[in-house]
Amino acid sequence: QQEEYLPIWRETNETSFEAGIRVQIHSQDEPPYIHQLGFGVSPGFQTFVSCQEQRLTYLPQPWGSCQASLKEEQILPGYESYSIAACRLQCEKEAVLQNCQCRMVHMPGNETICSPNVYIECADHILDTAVEDFQDRCICPVPCNLTRYGKEISMVRIPNK
């Protein structure tokens, strides 16, 4: 039963009492940012997803606010181009690394991965704080060319035998 598996260590702000999986459709050029951009797929249902690629072009100064050329350090290691998701992930990693001396398992890099105890006592709180004051501490410029994926989801219950 579901309650036999949760919570894993103890309840945290990221503890989920949902059943199923989270899915995100994203470009190969950017890391997944599944906790904010993903959608849930429930057990006991057949899920259909219709997906449409949307390529957006924003205008640079003086007509708009997109960043036409981005600094090399804003590109996340392992990726060839800049993305807002990569910038946010890098920002979260730096905050956790600075305060906890480790990184979360989903964050890129070679630094030590946080133990479950450090996750509970330090990283979980730092990630919550990073989300709350994200606009103040982490500025991720909007690129002039952006690809996103619109999706429509429908589900039907799988009948019991």
Counting the structural domains of the chain, the total is 1
Structural domain of 123: 2-157
| Element of type H or E holding 44 | none
**Region for residue 47 given its phi and psi (left: phi exceeds 0; alpha: psi -120 to 50; beta: otherwise):** beta
Sequence-ordered strand ranges (E) for the chain: 21-23, 39-41, 45-57, 145-157
Each residue's pLDDT tens digit, 113-135: 999 899 888 988 888 776 666 66
Cut 0.85: pTM above it: no
What does the pLDDT average to over 57-65? 90
Q: The domain that contains 44 carries what CATH number?
A: 1.10.287.820
Each residue's pLDDT tens digit, 104-115: 888 888 999 999
